[in-house]
Structure 1
Amino acid sequence: MFRSAFPDRLDIAGTSIELLTRGAGRPLLFLHGGHGVDAGDALVERLAAAGHKVIVPSHPGFGASPRPPGVTGVDDLCHIYLDLMEALDLRDVVLVGVSFGAWIAAELATMGTGRIRRLILIDAVGVKVSDRETRDIADIFATTVEDIPSLFFHDPEKGKALFHGFDFKNMTDAEVTRFVRNREALLLYGWSPTLYNPKLLGRLRRVNVPVLLLWGADDKVVGVEYGRRYAAAFKDAQFAVIGGAGHYGYLEQPDAFASHIDTFLAA
């Protein structure tokens, strides 16, 4: 993880977004989580091999994508991705979001699904499902770097292996810079309230395409019951739990997640 900048860039909405493209076929827009995205992401490679043209932008403020001064919230990111889909003339898009990226994807779909064919959310944040006294989402901003593997992964050792042991001494300067920028941007977009929009749950009924929500059975950031209640807010949603997976379970079990996605898109 934390490799150098992606090979391509796209000038859109007053900024220059780094862009990774894999495969050929029907377009699939992949919105990454708060950790950023790696050029060798196994799920991205698996989806590309299954006949998709997978388009992976780094959100403004993440990776090597500059953040324009006026871009401060998830709604701003949604409008940038509306512009991106128009600029690339993407139609019948499969929209996939992971964690923080799934929040963006869900918000984006409530704004209109004219260009979207299917919506897939993986261990999504973004909504409030309980009362004001109950915390639905773990306070990841109070988590130290050392605590990340046990919080975000079913197998902490696998998490450490994916991210150089979260040891900055084992990273290049470019990798450290990407890690810090990703964490800083996530803090900006998700600080208060913590990783959700209090209005989003009631808006999910507007999504008029089939939705698939995939959840790690050992997600300690947003538990399985949170995921079930998230799914229930859509008009047409399937929900599946994958064993041996935490919040970033798609990195631990990319083949299992890809298999569910393949089945959903083939139905």
Structure 2
Amino acid sequence: MSAGTPLAGHFAPGTLPLRDGHIGVVELGEGPTVGYLHGMLGNPGVHAVLEELAAAGHRVVAPSLPGFTGSSEPEGLRTLHDWVVATSEVVDLAGLAGAPLVASSVGAMLALELAAIRPEAFGSMVLVAPFGLWDDGDPVADPFGTTLSVQRAMLTEDTEASAAFFDDPTDLPADMVVEHGVHRYLTRTAAAQLIWPLPEWGLAERLHRVANPVTLVHGAKDRIIPASYLDRWAEALPNVAGTHLLDDAGHQADFDQPAQVAQIATAAFA
């Protein structure tokens, strides 16, 4: 499949070659293209925020970063610079260059890093709880120094919102259950590469270069990045179009409140 070419069917998972491996891509809906760059939960199939964006009249293209669900394990991603270069390649492969973007968590951090050095990579951006800032007086929590069940509660306020990632479907054959578990492990490992042990790579020193209009979204009950960081991002970014604090949403507000996030994105991209 060439960059920018729709996948077969109204919506379907697919893959694109990347270096010596591949990335997974989910596409659905019709209309103006909107990219979605996932957070720590990856892209566990066609999940609610993608459906909501498509229902709002968008063609949604959601690639998986190397190592995350649906993509092969990353090779040669040793530093943040390596990850940003890989993200730039993923954006081009998925045909998203210049398109508006919804990005969450670690994906939002990488989107900002890329926008700082490649302004044409995206149009307007809606960013959900980005990693990348740090305040010693109000530190970001470590989601990896705990059990899987506690991590789940840290990622979404409603644990059922993350069921597609954490729960093994009961109707899968045994070998597919094992594969689902492997994908979960690799996704957590890839996320840890980006933000552990300290999710601060000096992004604050590069934010002045982000010219794109940015709309910020944060869950009021985020147990990883405190809600106070919404104001920190608003002060640090040069072109903030709006800020939204969502009640009853945790770190991945795009999973807890997908309809609200899609509504915010649709208004931001109008």
TM range (shorter): 0.7 to 0.9
Equivalent pairs counted in the alignment come to 253
Separation of aligned partners in 1, 2:168 and 2:23: 26
Q: Hey, what does 1:70 align to over in structure 2?
A: 76
Is structure 2 residue 62 aligned with structure 1 residue 93? no
Q: Alpha-carbon deviation of 1:146?
A: 2.0
Any idea what the Cα deviations from partners look like across 1:170-201, whole Å, max 9, x if unmatched?
68112111111111112223223x2231x101
Equivalent of 1:180 in 185, 202, 226: 185
CA contact (8 A) 2:13 2:45 kept: no
Q: Alpha-carbon deviation of 1:223?
A: 1.2
Separation of aligned partners in 1, 2:261 and 2:94: 27
1:101-116 equivalence runs, <5 A: 101-116=107-122
Equivalent of 1:240 in 244, 257, 263: 244
Q: Hey, what does 1:139 align to over in structure 2?
A: 142
1:1-80 equivalence runs, <5 A: 7-80=13-86
Q: Is the deviation greater in 40-49 or in 146-155?
A: 146-155
Separation of aligned partners in 1, 2:34 and 2:20: 23
Q: Alpha-carbon deviation of 1:135?
A: 5.2
Q: Which amino acid aligns with 1:83?
A: E
Q: Alpha-carbon deviation of 1:112?
A: 1.8
Q: Which amino acid aligns with 1:189?
A: L
Is structure 2 residue 221 aligned with structure 1 residue 218? yes
Any idea what the Cα deviations from partners look like across 1:107-131, whole Å, max 9, x if unmatched?
1111122142111110111222x24
Q: Alpha-carbon deviation of 1:91?
A: 4.3
1:123-134 equivalence runs, <5 A: 123-128=129-134, 130-131=135-136, 134=137
With the length of structure 2 as denominator, give the TM-score of the two structures. 0.84
CA contact (8 A) 1:124 1:227 kept: no
CA contact (8 A) 2:221 2:250 kept: yes
Q: Is the deviation greater in 74-83 or in 206-215?
A: 74-83
Any idea what the Cα deviations from partners look like across 1:92-147, whole Å, max 9, x if unmatched?
3112211111111111111122142111110111222x24xx45210111121121
Is structure 2 residue 231 aligned with structure 1 residue 228? yes
Task: Go from structure 1 to structure 2 and tell me whether the alpha carbon gap of 1:167 and 1:97 turns closer, same or farther (over 3 Å shift).
Answer: closer
Q: Alpha-carbon deviation of 1:215?
A: 0.6
Task: Go from structure 1 to structure 2 and tell me whether the alpha carbon gap of 1:229 and 1:174 turns closer, same or farther (over 3 Å shift).
Answer: same
Task: Go from structure 1 to structure 2 and tell me whether the alpha carbon gap of 1:47 and 1:169 turns closer, same or farther (over 3 Å shift).
Answer: closer
Q: Alpha-carbon deviation of 1:51?
A: 2.5
Q: Alpha-carbon deviation of 1:149?
A: 3.6
Separation of aligned partners in 2, 1:246 and 1:181: 22
With the length of structure 1 as denominator, give the TM-score of the two structures. 0.85
Percent identity over the alignment is: 29
Q: Which amino acid aligns with 2:257?
A: Q
Task: Go from structure 1 to structure 2 and tell me whether the alpha carbon gap of 1:66 and 1:265 turns closer, same or farther (over 3 Å shift).
Answer: same
CA root-mean-square deviation: 2.3
Any idea what the Cα deviations from partners look like across 1:183-237, whole Å, max 9, x if unmatched?
1112223223x2231x101211111111011011111111111121012111111
Q: Give structure 1 stretches of 5+ with no counterpart.
A: 1-5
CA contact (8 A) 2:35 2:96 kept: no
Separation of aligned partners in 2, 1:180 and 1:88: 25
Separation of aligned partners in 1, 2:249 and 2:169: 28
